Chain A
Amino acid sequence: MGCSSSVPARSTGGLNTVSNDSSSATDSKDLRAKLVLLGDSGVGKSCIVLRFVRGQFDPTSKVTVGASFLSQTLALEDSTIVKFEIWDTAGQERYAALAPLYYRGAAAAIVVYDITSPESFSKAQYWVKELQKHGSPGIVMVLVGNKADLHENRSVSSQDALEYADKNNMFFIETSAKTADNINQLFEVCFEYIELFVFKQHIRGEANLAEDKT
């Protein structure tokens, strides 16, 4: 935690570059990204996070009350280190009022549904709309169909979900927290999209600067 004390204004969200205060001068980047998980109750939001952060699957996992927080660092191939700060929210409608607190300033929102539950898919669409209305502009949205291991009971087709995701400029992936399928990929993709967005913003920023000079 020590190295992050020099980072100002963390509430601005998006991706923050953490200054390297270690003496070893490397060209690796340390990045930080705030993520939030949203979705209907019982679709496996906490299990996805737990699988990613601890590599575990707990079939007796507890109900999330309010929200919980976990962080995990991911080392990418180009020696970039990303620290994910993951906010895992409670699924019950009651807690929906608290959600803005968690998705505010998030670089990416992971909207989860359960492939065996059509209700959870409509709930995911509700969250997408909510984020489009109230989320930070340019927030990266990923649609996740979880419980892919239960494909025998599938009731939301991949095709439908993919079409919906495309229409809403989202990335789509099916995962299984139970078998660990696609869990790491999910977070890597998340990062790629965030980076893409930040990169775009960066260019825009420079363009503005150029305009100012002329």
Chain B
Amino acid sequence: MDSHVGSGKIITAPLITEDGRPIKDPLVLLEAASDKNTSEGAQATNRNVIEVDESAERITDKQIIEWKLTLHQIGLDVLRTDRTMVFYENKENLSKLWDILAVYAWIDKDVGYCQGMSDLCSPMIVLLNDEADAFWCFEKLMRRLVLDPKLHDHLETLGGGDYLFAFRMFMVLFRREVSFGDSLYLWEWDKEKDKDKNASEDGEDGPVPISVFMVASVLKEKREKLLQEARGLDDLIRILNDVNGNLDAKKACAGALKLHKKYLKKVQQAKKP
């Protein structure tokens, strides 16, 4: 792996060139032990040219290069995740977030790291003291997201363009649409409902995740606005972008449940000969 993982450090500049040559003195920000703040850390390092470390061995494994290249991206994003929270004033927590994302990108090289994942991972670290617990919860969450073929198919059938508006909500599972506290409420609720659903109904196709209904309820809420103002994809994205941070979680849940009931009714009706 890499010696930086678990060291309490966060990498914010590339460790390696695209052809696998290690870079000398990569910009390592923020050691958990020191209480230098991040911007001072950045200023202390002055680097005019990218110096390739000729003495170090060149890495040839493409996957490893790919992984090393994501490490600084993770670092850049960790410094921009929920930074208004007191929790992250403790630098150790920042490096926890970095570690978990780095390790996840290592074990799941197909997914690697994608912007938005830090938003998903952050609540795990806030809620679970133990770094290992937080990691496995995050891993489970990712599996649920990535390996949800039903959800994926559904988005596919919505078509490329339509996929986009839901994209962000699914991507960050509403983290950006609602406040931190509300998003925890929402996730909790989402999980509960999916459990209930698995136990009961939905027929051969398996359950449709409740989050689909959540998006649907948001769309319904914005229906009038969309019909009146959206004349192109850009309008659509713009309107839904405005949902940012001011969605009422409880209201959205109630809306989603209603739609879900309606959907079940339709499914049942369709089944009847």
Instruction: Please give the residue numbers on chain A whose beta carbons come within 8 Å of chain B beta carbons, in ascending order.
Output: 1, 10-11, 34, 41-42, 59-69, 71, 85, 87, 90-95, 101, 116-119, 150, 152-153, 155
For A63, A87, A95, the residue with the greatest tally of chain B CB atoms inside 10 Å of its CB is A63
Question: Among the listed B45, B49, B115, which residue makes an inter-chain contact with A41, where contact means beta carbons less than 8 Å apart?
Answer: B115
When distances are taken between beta carbons in the complex, the residues of chain A under 8 Å from B3 are none
B119 near A63: Cβ-Cβ < 8 Å: yes
When distances are taken between beta carbons in the complex, the residues of chain A under 8 Å from B42 are 116, 150, 153
**In the complex where A60-B80, A63-B80, A65-B171 touch, is A119 in contact with B43 (Cβ < 8 A)?**
no
At the interface, yes or no: B195 with Cβ under 8 Å from chain A? Answer: no
Instruction: Please give the residue numbers on chain B whose beta carbons come within 8 Å of chain A beta carbons, in ascending order.
Output: 12-14, 39, 42-43, 45-50, 73, 76-77, 80-81, 83-84, 114-116, 118-119, 164, 167-168, 171-172, 176, 229, 231-234, 237-238, 241, 244
User: Of all chain A residues, which has the CB nearest B115?
Assistant: A92
A18 to chain B minimum Cβ distance, whole angstroms, is 14
B114 near A63: Cβ-Cβ < 8 Å: no
When distances are taken between beta carbons in the complex, the residues of chain B under 8 Å from A34 are 234
A94 near B114: Cβ-Cβ < 8 Å: yes
Contacts A10-B232, A66-B167 given; 18 further ones with Cβ under 8 A?
Answer: A41-B76, A41-B77, A42-B12, A42-B76, A42-B80, A62-B119, A63-B115, A63-B116, A65-B168, A65-B171, A66-B168, A69-B234, A85-B234, A94-B114, A116-B42, A150-B43, A152-B43, A155-B48
Complex Cα–Cα for A63 and B45 (A): 23
Question: Among the listed A10, A63, A101, which residue makes an inter-chain contact with B77, where contact means beta carbons less than 8 Å apart?
Answer: A63
B75 to chain A minimum Cβ distance, whole angstroms, is 9
For B46, B50, B80, the residue with the greatest tally of chain A CB atoms inside 10 Å of its CB is B80
B188 to chain A minimum Cβ distance, whole angstroms, is 22
A118 near B116: Cβ-Cβ < 8 Å: no
Which 7 pairs of residues, A with B, have the shortest CB-CB distance? A60-B83, A42-B76, A65-B116, A69-B238, A92-B115, A63-B77, A155-B48
